[in-house]
Amino acid sequence: MAGIMLAFPGGRHKALTLSYDDGTLADRRLVELLNRYGLKGTFHLNSGLFGIPGRLAAEEAASLYTGHEVSAHTFTHPTIARCPREQMVHEIIEDRKGLERLTGYPVRGMSYPNGSYNGDLKKMLPALGIEYARVVESTGSFALPQDWLEWKPTCHHNDRLLERAEQFLALHKTQYLYLMYVWGHSYEFDHDGNWDLMEQFCTLAGGRESVWYATNMEIVDYITAYGRLQFSADLSFVRNPSACSVWLSVDGRHVEVAGGSHIRLTQEE
């Protein structure tokens, strides 16, 4: 029987994602940095607040985030756990509608505004089309989340970012999957005067062949596709009913299971 483990695309065992909230004008500079160094981010936006002072206009947001992910952050950024359920529904659905008009694709994730959430809200999210939601509590670790609707990042960018990046890049045990997840608000770089920190991080972490650079939703979709793989009882073959490829480590070999394919994993005896 083959020894089979999930791998990230290309057989990698490390992934990096970033998550930034509110859609402020400083996102222009942040997106330029990420593009320059080949990193990917998810940008959580309030479609009801486009165009107010300090925030992007809807027309600019429609093009700025190309190559990254636009995700929900509620329509008007309330402390949502204090709101009636009807308002929770309104805030999430209206934000999705506004953002989807801009992007042309379904918006399926979010971050909780003001870090505010509760159990009732979490239970509602799948019915509102939300498949993941990021919180603000950081773990300091590089593990995949146990709960996609309470996705805890590795760190805020002001929390030992370069030190954590060096730790992440030094990880070498391929029997584990590692995810570094950085979050924040781009306006904080203006406020704190530390754009050089983010450029140092991008220089250090970008352009690494061993790292999969992904948006939040790409990671969720990939892990979901792995969960849908259909293995034979003896693990000799597998079928992938999803559209995207999934990579496996099979007795130390990297094997791509293309979307819609049915492949043998072991040599016939």
In tens, the pLDDT along 129-141 reads: 999 999 999 999 9
The Cα 206–Cα 21 span in angstroms is 21
List, for residues 133-163, the tens digit of each pLDDT value.
999 999 999 999 999 999 999 999 999 999 9
Dihedral angle at the C-alpha atoms of 187, 188, 194, 197, nearest 10 degrees?
-100
Domain with residues 12-223, CATH architecture: Alpha-Beta Barrel (3.20)
Average of per-residue pLDDT values in the chain: 96
List, for residues 198-246, the tens digit of each pLDDT value.
999 999 999 999 999 999 999 999 999 999 999 999 999 999 999 999 9
Domain ranges across the chain: 12-223
Residue type, 209: E
pTM across the whole model:
0.97
